[in-house]
Amino acid sequence: MRYLHTMVRVKDLDAALDFYCRGLGLFEVRRTVSEKGRFTLVFLAAPLDSATATVNGGDRAAPHVELTYNWPDENGKVEDYAGGRNFGHLAYEVDDIYAACQHLMDMGVVINRPPRDGNMAFVRSPDGISVELLQKGAPKAPQEPWASMPNTGSW
């Protein structure tokens, strides 16, 4: 397992980038814009991680901070993240997403978002912290019981 990133939701992407980049000195590693999902993801790294923060052969060595900007709704309203909901999740890359989820289920952990796609799952810590598990490399072929397992709760 390898630690990948921590996700933080932001209400104003420009203000957040000013703080994290100009203020803290982090730099942008990559950006994903999803028209369909109506969000922008910006991954940042620390200056001393510059040699290992970029994608090298599909393998990132340095952890990132992921800024998630959810676009305003059709009425122009931006969600207000009260009560710490701006903290999103921890993310870990695993060698085998199905084995990792089975191990957690065997321990009594609820798989909130099963790895139906063979690539991504979400669970929660005993304190309610959302943890994303991502398959290392290419997604695994969908298989049961995961492929038909519904979401449970929130993540």
**pLDDT tens digits for 105-114?**
999 999 999 9
- The burial of 131, by beta-carbon neighbours within 10 Å (0-12 exposed, 13-18 middle, 19 or more buried), is given as middle
Angle in degrees, CA 6, 145, 120, rounded to 5: 20
Which position among 28, 79, 93, 132 bears the catalytic label? 132
Pair 47, 53: CB distance under 8 Å: no
Task: Give the H or E element holding residue 41.
Answer: strand 39-45
Annotated active-site residue 132? The verdict is yes
**Percent of residues, the chain, with pLDDT higher than 90:** 58
0.85 cut: is pTM over it? no
